[in-house]
Amino acid sequence: AQKVTQAQTEISVVEKEDVTLDCVYETRDTTYYLFWYKQPPSGELVFLIRRNSFDEQNEISGRYSWNFQKSTSSFNFTITASQVVDSAVYFCALSEATSGTYKYIFGTGTRLKVLA
C-alpha cells in the first residue's frame, strides 16, 4: 500500500543553520512522483520541488536541495542557511501514475521552527 512517513514531528534550529527534513515512502508503482510542499500559518500549501521516479539526479535550487534515493525509498529535503521565514510545516507527498488520478498521499508533516 502507498504510504508517506515523516518521522520528524518538529524541528527547531537557529537561523543560518542547515536543516534536513526526512521523508520515506512506500509504493508498488514503478512510475511515481514525489513532492515537497510548505504550509505557512496562512494555510496555503506552497509547492517547492518535484521529482519523478526515473530521475534520481539530485539538484540544488537556491537554498533548497534534495536527496532522492530509490534504494532506500527516501526523498529528503535540505534548507541551507535557514531563515526565520522558513518557519512552517513541510509536507512530503507521493503521487502514483497507476492511480489514474495522480492524487497525492501526504505525510503527517514536519513543523520547522527557525529561531532568530
Specify the residue, 16 or 50, whose C-beta has the smaller distance to another protein.
50
Question: Which of 21, 32, 88, 109 is close enough to bind another protein by CB under 8 A?
Answer: 109
Is residue 35 part of the contact set for another protein (CB under 8 A)?
Answer: yes
Is residue 101 part of the contact set for another protein (CB under 8 A)?
Answer: yes
Smallest distance, another protein to C-beta of residue 45, A: 4
3-state SS, residue 90: strand
Closest among 25, 9, 11 to 69, alpha carbons compared? 25
Is residue 108 part of the contact set for another protein (CB under 8 A)?
Answer: yes
- Stretch binding another protein (CB under 8 A), from 53-61, 67-75, 76-84, 107-115: 107-115
Rounded Cα gap, residues 91 and 113, in angstroms: 14
Name residues whose C-beta falls within 8 Å of residue 99's C-beta, 6 or more positions apart in sequence: none
Rounded Cα gap, residues 41 and 69, in angstroms: 30
Question: Which of 28, 43, 54, 55 is close enough to bind another protein by CB under 8 A?
Answer: 43
- β 110-115/10-14 pair status: parallel
Residues that bind another protein (CB under 8 A): 4, 35, 37, 42-47, 50, 91, 93, 100-109
